[in-house]
């Protein structure tokens, strides 16, 4: 399974999964139809699945158009998004399994950004390979999604589930927010040298016009303040020793950053 990153709208990414053997494709969070149709055409491949992480329009905007072009496509989303994801046919819960070509993906329920948000995790095919995590607007490179429909406690639980995955997991998040996220991270985790180095690398990539997605989960665990709510340095900044309160205060500071 090859993952192809497509740009959409202002700063969204759509991910196209391509299985070369069976010559089929799936798409994660199609914000727009145009870049997806163009790539499918280039590859001359059939779209068999749409995997949505949550109901926001910048993640489901092209569902209906793609269904028109590919009447057999299956549309997946969280069970709690029933009625909110256009064309949804499959209603997924924590622990459900999905199949794409020869790969089995695992559904992780990650409420917080929205109340029904899910992530899709494809474990590595063989030892030493990377896993693939499609986490929508829950975990970002260097940051996390805003809390629109969930509580800090829910988001801490959700992010903890993602952080429990292996370091060697590629994080395919849905927005290019990394530079701004790391600028904020540096204000709350000043002495983190790994974060300082990451910031310089990301700054250079963005200057060259390169995408910073995917990121690696191992790097996120060391540099993303929204996975580091149990670290003394961040608890000191948040003036709390409670992980959930620390997370909530950091999220509050980021909202105003």
Chain residues binding Fe ion by CB under 5 A are 58, 137
Q: Does the annotation mark 117 as catalytic?
A: no
**Stretch of 30-38, 53-61, 217-225, 231-239 lying at the interface with Zn ion (CB under 5 A):** 53-61
Helices in the chain by DSSP H: which ranges? 34-43, 57-60, 63-69, 152-163, 178-188, 193-207, 217-223, 232-238, 243-256
- Catalytic residue flag (residue 113): yes
Binding map of Zn ion across residues 122-141, x = CB under 5 A, - = no contact: ---------------x----
Let me know if 222 is a catalytic residue.
no
Residues 6+ apart with CB under 8 A from 164: none
Work out whether strand 2-8 and strand 169-173 pair parallel, antiparallel, or are unpaired: unpaired
Which of the listed partners (Zn ion, Fe ion, none) does 81 bind, with a CB threshold of 5 to 8 Å by partner kind? none
Q: Cβ 12 to Fe ion, closest distance in Å?
A: 6
Catalytic residue among 56, 81, 117, 189: 56
Q: Does 29 bind Zn ion (CB under 5 A)?
A: no
Least distance in Å: CB of 155 to Fe ion?
Answer: 15
55 is catalytic: no
Catalytic residue among 18, 29, 54, 117: 54
Rounded least distance, CB 140 to Zn ion, Å: 11
Nearest to 123 by CA among 91, 98, 93, 154: 98
Q: How far is the CB of 257 from Fe ion (least distance, A)?
A: 18
Q: Which pairs with CB-CB distance under 8 Å and at least 24 residues apart come from 98-105?
A: 98/49, 98/51, 100/1, 100/17, 100/19, 100/24, 100/26, 100/48, 100/49, 101/1, 101/19, 101/21, 101/22, 101/24, 102/19, 102/21, 102/22, 103/1, 103/19, 105/51
The answer to whether 175 contacts Zn ion (rule: CB under 5 A) is no
Regarding 56 and contact with Zn ion (CB under 5 A), the answer is: yes
Q: What residues are labeled active site?
A: 54, 56, 58-59, 113, 137, 175
Binding residues for Zn ion (CB under 5 A): 56, 137
């Amino acid at each position: 399974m090859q993952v192809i990153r497509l740009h959409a709208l202002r700063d969204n990414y759509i991910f196209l999964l391509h299985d070369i053997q069976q010559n089929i494709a799936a798409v994660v969070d199609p914000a727009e139809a145009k870049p997806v149709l163009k790539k499918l055409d280039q590859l001359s491949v059939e779209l068999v699945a749409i995997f949505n992480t949550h109901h926001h329009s910048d993640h489901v905007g092209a569902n209906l158009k793609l269904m028109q072009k590919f009447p057999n496509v299956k549309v997946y989303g969280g069970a709690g998004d029933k009625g909110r994801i256009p064309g949804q046919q499959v209603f997924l819960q924590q622990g459900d399994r999905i199949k794409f070509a020869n790969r089995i993906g695992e559904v992780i329920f990650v409420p917080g950004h929205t109340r029904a948000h899910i992530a899709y995790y494809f474990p590595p095919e063989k030892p030493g390979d990377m896993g693939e995590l499609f986490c929508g607007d829950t975990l970002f490179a260097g940051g996390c999604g805003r809390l629109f429909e969930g509580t800090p406690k829910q988001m801490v639980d959700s992010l903890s589930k993602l952080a429990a995955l292996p370091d060697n997991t590629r994080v395919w998040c849905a927005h290019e927010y990394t530079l701004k996220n790391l600028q904020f991270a540096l204000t709350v985790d000043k002495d983190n040298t790994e974060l300082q180095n990451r910031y310089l690398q990301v700054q250079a990539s963005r200057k060259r016009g390169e995408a910073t997605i995917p990121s690696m989960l191992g790097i996120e665990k060391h540099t993303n303040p929204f996975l580091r709510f149990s670290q003394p340095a961040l608890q000191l900044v948040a003036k709390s020793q409670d992980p959930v309160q620390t997370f909530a205060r950091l999220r509050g500071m980021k909202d105003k950053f």
